Structures are given as structure tokens and as C-alpha cells.
Amino acid sequence: MTRLSVNINKVATLRNARGGNNPDVVKVALDCEAFGADGITVHPRPDERHIRRSDVYALKAVLKTEFNIEGNPTPDFIDLVLKVRPHQVTLVPDAPDQLTSNAGWDTKAHLSFLTEVLDAFKEEGIRTSVFVNADATMVEYAAKAGADRVELYTEPYASGYAADAEDAVRPFVEAAKVARSLGLGLNSGHDLSLANLEYYHRCIPWLDEVSIGHALICDALYLGLKRTIEEYKRCLI
């Protein structure tokens, strides 16, 4: 069964826009778990424009499902992850001023760096995932670096889905097959939604996990959080 990890960054963005603690990030995360989410994802950026370091510690203390921390492995990020020791860390190559992640790692060019960082996390028993484009070479070098999983960056699939779903998903299926042949676990995320998730999962049914935030939180404004999580889970059956 493919697991649904809810990215709660947007909840923190809403809280930070007004100050105070409304909405309560920790309560929302616990509600997501209660409503059927299989995990919680956060992406603490250096400027703390959404998730704060204090949120990460607070969540670690109470979550009962899988906790995934994603981000650019700067020294501060590495230190945070090693202290918190989540179930999974996902390495994302985003610059501090990026609005959102918009590309995967060049795992060939950064092989030595990624190997060193992944080794440090694996020594502490933290499962590792590397964010990559749907490219066989990038998947192969993630495996060489020692990653446990790759997370396919799915924005190109989401962008092309309406025009030609079969064509849009093709490179992702090929990359997913390469990952499976190398013994890598497989995650996916970015712009997956109720509109395109079911087809993506049907084409790649061996997915371990999808991480979804922006679309899911937007849907929850109309459907409510409980029903929204149920709808996303139905796409993964």
C-alpha cells in the first residue's frame, strides 16, 4: 500500500502570516494522523517562513506515524535532523530564496557530497531519500550515493497531465522501473493532486509514499481536512 504523507508547510505559512498559534501546526498534524494520514512531512527552511525549528521538535515529541523532514542539507539542517532523528530525511537541493522546490539533485555531479551526507544520516538509523528528476542517470547515482529511496519530482507530470496523461507519466514510469531494479524505495511529490494522483499511482503501483501539501491543504478549504485525506487515500488503493 502506498503511504500518504501530508506536508503541513502551508498550515505553518497561514499561522505565520498573522502571528500567534492559529492554526496550531501540531494539532493539525495530529488531526491528519487521526483522519488516516500515514505520515507527516515538514520542510524547515533557513528563514523559517513556514515550519520553524521549534515546530520540528514539537512534532517529533507527539507524532505516532512516520515523520519525514525534507530540505537542503546545510550544516544547520543536518544538525537539526541528527538531533530530531525522524523516520526519514529527504534531501532537496533548493536555494534559501526559492519559493518552492523546482528541480531534483544532479546526483552525478554531487555524488561525493551526497554520499558523505547520506552516510551521516544512515549511521543514526535514519532512512534516506534523495529528490530527483525522472531521469535514469539521476536515479542510478542516487543509488551509488547510498540512498535508501528516491523521491521523484512530479511537477512535470502534473503540468502535462491534462494535455496527455500517458505521455506525461511515461518518464516517471521508466525512472520508477530503474529505481526498483536497483533496490531503491520510491517516493513521489510536488503538485500531485486529486486530479492526477490516481492515474499516477495506477501507472506506478509499487510507490512507497507520496508527499502532498499544497494541493491537499487547498482542497481541505472546500472539503474539510478529514474528507480530503480520505479522498487522497482512495487514490492510492
Contact present, 25 and 229 (Cβ < 8 Å): no
13-47: b (≥16 Cβ within 10 Å) or e? eebeeeeeeeeebbebbbbbbebebbbbbbbbbee
Q: Is 214 annotated as a binding residue?
A: yes
Instruction: Burial-class residue 202 by CB neighbours within 10 Å (0-12, 13-18, 19+).
Output: exposed
The residue written with cell numbers 522501473 in the block is 177
Q: Is 191 annotated as a binding residue?
A: yes
Residues assigned a catalytic role? 43, 70, 190
Q: Is 16 annotated as a binding residue?
A: no
Q: Is 50 annotated as a binding residue?
A: yes
Q: Is 201 annotated as a binding residue?
A: no
Contact present, 68 and 211 (Cβ < 8 Å): yes
Q: What is the DSSP letter of 166?
A: H
Q: Is 160 annotated as a binding residue?
A: no
Q: Is 85 annotated as a binding residue?
A: no
The length of the chain is 237
Q: Which helix (H) or strand (E) holds 220?
A: helix 214-223
Residue 17 half-sphere exposure, CB side, CA atoms within 13 Å? 7
Q: Could you tell me which residues are annotated as the binding site for 3-amino-2-oxopropyl phosphate?
A: 7, 18, 191, 213-214
Q: Could you tell me which residues are annotated as the binding site?
A: 7, 18, 45, 50, 100, 191, 213-214
Q: Could you tell me which residues are annotated as the binding site for 1-deoxy-D-xylulose 5-phosphate?
A: 45, 50, 100
